[in-house]
Amino acid sequence: MSTKFDVIVIGGGPGGYVAAIRAAQLGLKTACIEKWLDKEEKPRLGGTCLNVGCIPSKALLDSSHKYHDAKASYGVHGISVGDVAMDVNTMVDRKDKIVDQLTSGITGLFKANGVTSFEGFGKVLANKKVEFTAHDGTVTVLETDNVILATGSVPVNIPPAPRTGDIIVDNEGALDFREVPKRLGVIGAGVIGLELGSVWARLGSEVVVLEAQDSFLSVCDQDIAKEAAKIFKKQDLDIRLGARVTGSQINGEEVEVTYLDAKGEEQKQTFDKLIVAVGRKPFTQGCFSDDSGVNLDERGFVFVDEQCRTSVPGVYAIGDIVRGPMLAHKASEEGVMVADIIAGHKAQMNYDCIPSVIYTHPELAWVGKNEQELKSEGVKYKVGKFPFAASGRAMAANDTDGFVKIIADEETDRILGCHIIGGHAADLIAQAVIAMEFGSTAEDIALTVFAHPTVSEAVHEAALAVDGHAIHIANRKKRK
């Protein structure tokens, strides 16, 4: 094949497919290479996020939450539903249909925007050439002026608990349980572990989460983490900190896990299913020829500058294979930025304003700095908090757990961070992201009119509370 492209994107996940569409929209002749095959060995765009990550997990989270509400929460509204049952097969099939619809949609978007799709493996060669290996083994060398690497990440495996059939699984396997496991073990109390643990706990599993760290959710503001720990305990998530897994043994249809507890004493626990969710690592192995010139660190991450340029001119890398959080929306925006740069436009990203979300219930969401980070940096700050228990809209919805916390610079009042735990936190955090993107102060939000009654008023009140001006709670600070 002698066709030359302006841009070749390797990887069709949320970073890659967005970069490809954007580049094509800007008039660049664009191709995208994606290796993903679904359970039926059919090619799929969308990468981990759409196929076995963000989207399918949220489908299960929503289904299980509706089931839990119907079973445990409708009575307060005067709604009697009798016996409630969950058909797990229907729930999982619904998840698969959503995945099919969205991945097929990307195929349609590629056609609409003129992106050429290649199904197979891509490898970066020297002189910006790309080796394409189709699924049937056919090898073709493609020529291009620019390469965008967006190969994503894969689950981290741990020797004490190797994946085995459908008993010891990673996040992908945990999305396809066809019955509710009576006893479910989860290794790792991070985003994936908490979300998947929540799904099956709502459906009746006895869930034990083994977390090696001695602190819970150390990436979060500790006010948020402490509140989350209390709520998850009430939801029957048995989270054991300082639990270091040392081995596992499959016995028939169950697995016995051995671990050292926080006191260093050996413990054993038996589960019907075990989910290993200890993190992810960049998928860069085999993506470069020895003479490609692209530099990687010892962990497999690609070295890039602030605009995602690698050590080779014309070769870019985005998403999970570069510095920064492994988040789909971060990858997507990097893809847009790089496509704009290639097309000759000025573009940049504000890495200080990337939100993070954990889609448990209540949801956890944050952006910017937390208190422990600011303390370590010696930054003087002030804090405003507002509980959803004081929100009329949250009370009407019977969803009053959690609070909004806004941190602002003590001298300039500029917002440094926002941290939310509560219903709709994933959506509410966008208000803080926009405010921070424009350099807003807490007073700017405090002077903004919010619709009433809405849960977003909690953001308004938290901003007012920064200087002791909250209306619907007693203020800790005196009004100025």
Domain total of the chain: 3
Task: For residues 34 and 116, state if they share a domain.
Answer: yes
Do the beta carbons of residue 319 and residue 15 sit within 8 Å?
Answer: yes
Tokens 């249809």, located at residue? 253
Residue 392 known to bind ligand? no
Task: For residues 175 and 137, state if they share a domain.
Answer: no
Residue 470 domain flag: no
Residue 163 domain flag: no
Task: For residues 57 and 150, state if they share a domain.
Answer: yes
Task: For residues 187 and 271, state if they share a domain.
Answer: yes
CA distance 308 to 321: 11
Give the mean model confidence (pLDDT) for residues 456-476. 96
Instruction: Cite the beta strand spans of 283-339 per DSSP E.
Output: 315-317
* Predicted local distance difference test score (pLDDT) of residue 218: 95
Where does a domain end: 326, 349, 372?
A: 349
* Predicted local distance difference test score (pLDDT) of residue 449: 98
Select which of 452, 460, 469, 472 is catalytic.
452
Tokens 């209390």, located at residue? 230
Number of helical H runs and strand E runs in the chain: 13, 21
The CA-based dihedral angle spanning residues 446, 448, 451, 455, taken in that order and rounded to the nearest 10 degrees: -40
Task: For residues 399 and 330, state if they share a domain.
Answer: no
* Predicted local distance difference test score (pLDDT) of residue 165: 86
* Predicted local distance difference test score (pLDDT) of residue 2: 54
The pLDDT tens digits of the residues spanning 65-87 come to: 999 999 999 999 999 998 999 99
Residue 384 known to bind ligand? no
The pLDDT tens digits of the residues spanning 283-328 come to: 999 999 999 999 999 999 999 999 999 999 999 999 999 999 999 9
Give the mean model confidence (pLDDT) for residues 457-463. 98
Where does a domain end: 251, 278, 305?
A: 278
Residue 250 known to bind ligand? no
Task: For residues 392 and 259, state if they share a domain.
Answer: no
Task: For residues 8 and 66, state if they share a domain.
Answer: yes
Residue 472 domain flag: no
Give the mean model confidence (pLDDT) for residues 384-402. 97
Which helix (DSSP H) or strand (DSSP E) does residue 243 occupy? none
CA distance 425 to 456: 9
Residue 279 known to bind ligand? yes
Identify the domain containing residue 258 by its residue range.
168-278
Residue 293 known to bind ligand? no
Residue 160 domain flag: no
The pLDDT tens digits of the residues spanning 396-430 come to: 999 999 999 999 999 999 999 999 999 999 999 99
Residue 473 domain flag: no
CA distance 457 to 465: 12
CA distance 314 to 122: 16
The pLDDT tens digits of the residues spanning 29-49 come to: 999 999 999 989 999 999 999
* Predicted local distance difference test score (pLDDT) of residue 478: 52
Residue 152 known to bind ligand? yes
The pLDDT tens digits of the residues spanning 329-367 come to: 999 999 999 999 999 999 999 999 999 999 999 999 999
Confidence tier at 471 by pLDDT (50, 70, 90): very high
Task: For residues 286 and 368, state if they share a domain.
Answer: no
Task: For residues 448 and 302, state if they share a domain.
Answer: no
Residue 293 CB-half CA count within 13 A: 14
Residue 479 domain flag: no
Where does a domain end: 220, 250, 278?
A: 278
The pLDDT tens digits of the residues spanning 218-232 come to: 999 999 999 999 999
Residue 165, C-beta contacts closer than 8 angstroms, at least 6 positions apart? none
Residue 153 known to bind ligand? yes
Task: For residues 111 and 208, state if they share a domain.
Answer: no
Residue 161 domain flag: no
Query: Does residue 452 have an active-site annotation?
Result: yes
Task: For residues 399 and 423, state if they share a domain.
Answer: yes
| Residue 186 belongs to domain with CATH number | 3.50.50.60
Task: For residues 66 and 45, state if they share a domain.
Answer: yes
Residue 111 domain flag: yes
| Residue 426 belongs to domain with CATH number | 3.30.390.30
Residue 328 known to bind ligand? yes
pTM of the model: 0.95
Residue 332 known to bind ligand? no
Which helix (DSSP H) or strand (DSSP E) does residue 75 occupy? none
